[in-house]
Structure 1
Amino acid sequence: MGHKILTLSPGSTSTKVAVFDGTEALFRLNVTHPAEEIAAFDNAADQFEYRRQTILDALAEQGIALEDIDAFSGYCGAMGPTVGGIFAIDDTVCDHVMNAGVNHPAILGAPLLHAFAQATGKPAYAVNQPDTDELVDVARITGFPGVYRKSHVHCLNQKECAIRCAAELGLTYEGGSFIVAHVGGGLSVACHNHGRMVDTNDVLEGSGPFAPNRSGDAPLKPVVKLAYSGATKKELDGVIGKTGGLLGLLGTDDARQITARIEAGDAWAEVVYDAMAYQVAKAIGAFAAVLAGKVDGIVLTGGVSHDPRFVSYVTERVGWIAPVKVYAGDFEMDALAAGAIRALEGTEPVMTYTGEPSWKGFTMDGAIADVEG
């Protein structure tokens, strides 16, 4: 029997809960929260007790007592930019996330885990938290004064798949260099160099390849023209983060529907879908340059990586760089469990959270202040 790990991820309308025995999942649940129940709370922070009871009820239905759990691990939003790795969840983490001014249930990850840890005397961990930012300085610079690149990506799944790729190649994550493309509703491509995610697109701010429902990079002047010709900020933000990409161009972000349309002879669907794969391949090639061509492995992950057409299109264009490994789907809960096990077994150090950001903006002489800072 291995360590029993409880993992959780609070989302906008659901809470993912899973219990692992070692790396084997005993159960996985995605508990949905009816809109009328969520509407009863003014702020995400107010949902703490509601979400806590949801998790306890899920455990009870599976016949698992909280006391049976050896460690707790979860998706912990609003920890701010930090290096990747494993942080012990304590009062400092909880105070920070609950007072960060973020109104999303992801902020409840750390407080919920901390509550369970205090109730049982077992440890709680944040593993490769979503605001991980390990970018090198040159990756942050843009030609637009005061606008800098930051890291907002699928960090947890990115790093987990890079770890899996490294193991498959007989390497360690810290001992190799990998390029990972996560293609789901959002799309992130990241360059992992010896244990650090040194360059990536920004999923939240709208950079990189376009995604199933996000716009990705676009020429700036036409977007500015739209902004001054009557389009509202909400409409433009929507295209950037929710209704752009495949959804905006084809009316659906379901790759299965799109491939069916292509097979039926839809030429527009074909060129748009191939364009997304084309941009992913181009981003991977760019990161190969960042690594000076010394790439140990390329990873395709996320839901779209289930599609053979997409995988084939990208692989044909980047397979000459390094071996391409496909881990289709989402391994976030598995990653949370695996991180907790590494912490318990002492194979990865556990850090103490200070609240100090991993990047505070450029402070060198002549630097222009971050427009968001």
Structure 2
Amino acid sequence: MPYRILTLSPGSTSTKVAVFEGEQTLMKSNVRHDPVELQGFDAAADQLQYRIDTVLAELAKAGIQLDSIDAFSGYCGGMGPTVGGIFAIDQNVCDHVLSCGMNHPAILGAPILFDFARRTGKPAFAVNQPDTDELEDVARITGYPGIYRKSHVHCLNQKECAIRFAASLGRRYEEVNVIVAHVGGGLSVAAHRKGRMIDTNDVIEGSGPFAPNRSGDVPAKPVVALAFSGSHDRREIDAVIGKAGGLKGLLGTDDALEIDRRIEAGDAWAKLVFEAMAYQTAKAIGAFSVALEGRVDGIVLTGGVSHDEAFTSYVKERVGWIAPVAVYAGDFEMEGAAAGAVRALEGSEAVMTYTGRPSWAGFSFEAAPADVEA
């Protein structure tokens, strides 16, 4: 019998929950929370029982019993940098994420899943958690002393799409070199070499191509001048970098369909800006082909904007000479979390024990390697 897996992803204003049984999706829901209700919580951690109740209510609507689930898996923020893969969610994971200082509901992923695991006696897993950091040391160096690059990308969807692409070649993820570009609200591009993301941009810190609502790489001195001009405070500048820049800042919208309509109506500025985002994406893919020394088995385009044929065609025209381009439009995070849980249950991928020790904590060559137990 196929395994039945519950997956979830707590967001700032919603909770995604899905149940899969083999290849079948039994239910999939994105519950939007009442802002007034959310305002009643002082901190994200205080929402734990509220979010648990939300998931249980969705299961009840779908007529799915909690004890019918074979394993629980999902988006687990706050774990800090680790290698990619599957971690067993235990009390240590929950204690860490709830005390990590991060005030975002993503930290509730592990505690919710662990609550369900304790109720049912079934396992809970964190699969390719969002702070996964597998960068090679050479990729971390910047020209500014004391500032190093880290990895904050759409890891779960990145790796799931790379796994699917490898399977389309009849190979395993650990056997291929793939460049994946996830283009959603944020935009992450990563070089995957034999099962590890060896180089990426950082969607949290603001590097890489500009995105539908993020600024991406911007010349540093003008930003410094803006920060000290007195005309903008830090919150305003951070907002442009992280949620109000990119297409939204330049065109007033991050809706690709709306931008397509403007382009069709003859809006030359909209066309130039949209092509610039595609151009920067293609340029990043080209740069990461260097990280893989030109040995690239494939390029994958994913994320919501990859539904847009104008965008994908523009990118394909510029990078198709590097390697074949495959499009996996949309978001496969829930499917990726479920697939990881199945691999754990089947024993085809090792399940690691989380220790809280980071996969990278600075350039101290006397430091012991990351403490991860298979």
TM over 0.5: yes
8 A contact 1:23–1:337 mirrored in 2: no
1:292-338 CA distance string (max 9 Å, x none): 11000100000100011000000000001111000000000000100
Identity %: 72
- Distance in structure 2 (CA, Å) of the matches to 1:53 and 1:260: 41
1:120-164, Cα deviation, whole Å (9 max, x unpaired): 110000000000000000000000111100000000000000001
- 1 CA distance for matches of 2:295 and 2:129? 27
Structure 2, unpaired ranges of 5+: 367-374
Q: Give the CA deviation at 1:260.
A: 1.2
1:250 and 2:261 are equivalent in the alignment: no
Which position in structure 1 is the counterpart of 2:17?
17
Give the Cα separation in 1 of the matches to 2:127 and 2:24.
18
Amino acid of the residue matched to residue 18 of structure 1?
A: A
In terms of mean alpha carbon deviation, does 203-212 or 256-265 score higher?
A: 256-265
Report the Cα offset of residue 170 of structure 1. Answer: 1.8
Say whether the 8 Å CA contact 1:181–1:187 is kept in structure 2: yes
Is contact 1:22–1:337 with CA below 8 Å preserved after alignment?
no
1:356 counterpart residue number: 357
Answer yes or no: is the 8 Å Cα contact 1:76–1:108 preserved in 2. Answer: yes
Contact 1:5–1:71, Cα closer than 8 Å, also in 2: yes
In structure 1, the residue matched to 2:64 is 64
Q: Distance in 2 between matches of 1:53 and 1:148?
A: 40
Which string of whole-angstrom CA distances, capped at 9 and with x for unpartnered residues, describes residues 224-251 of structure 1? 1101112210111011001100010111
Say which SS state the counterpart of residue 57 (structure 2) adopts: helix
CA contact (8 A) 1:23 1:334 kept: no
1:156-167 → structure 2 map (5 Å cutoff): 156-167=156-167
Partner of 1:30: 30
Q: Counterpart of 2:200?
A: 200
Per-residue CA distance 1:172-191 (angstroms, 9 max, x = gap): 10000000000000000000
- Does 2:103 align with 1:93? no
Quote the residue 2:369 is aligned against: none
User: What's the offset of the Cα at 1:22?
Assistant: 1.4
Letter in structure 1 aligned against 2:226 = L
DSSP-derived class of the 2:175 partner: coil
Q: Which whole-Å CA distance do the structure 1 matches of 2:202 and 2:66 have between them? A: 37
**Cα deviation, residue 353, structure 1:** 0.5
Structure 1, unmatched stretches of 5+, are 366-373
Regions of 4+ moved over 3 Å: none
- Give the match for residue 191 of structure 2: 191
Q: Name the counterpart of 1:128.
A: 128
Does residue 271 of structure 2 align to residue 270 of structure 1?
A: yes
| 1:369 equivalent in structure 2 | none
Distance 2:45 2:188 in 1: 28
Q: Answer yes or no: is the 8 Å Cα contact 1:216–1:240 preserved in 2.
A: yes
| CA distance in structure 1 between the partners assigned to 2:78 and 2:164 by the alignment | 27
With normalisation by structure 1, the TM-score equals 0.97
Q: Distance in 1 between matches of 2:52 and 2:269?
A: 47
Question: Would the aligned equivalents of 1:193 and 1:291 in 2 still touch at CA under 8 Å?
Answer: yes
TM-align CA RMSD: 0.9
Within 1, Cα distance between the matches of 2:234 and 2:43? Answer: 23
What is aligned with 2:371? none
Q: Kindly indicate whether residue 321 of structure 2 is the aligned counterpart of residue 315 of structure 1.
A: no
The code of the aligned residue for 1:309 comes to A
Cα distance, 1:166 vs structure 2: 0.6
CA displacement at 1:364 relative to structure 2: 4.4
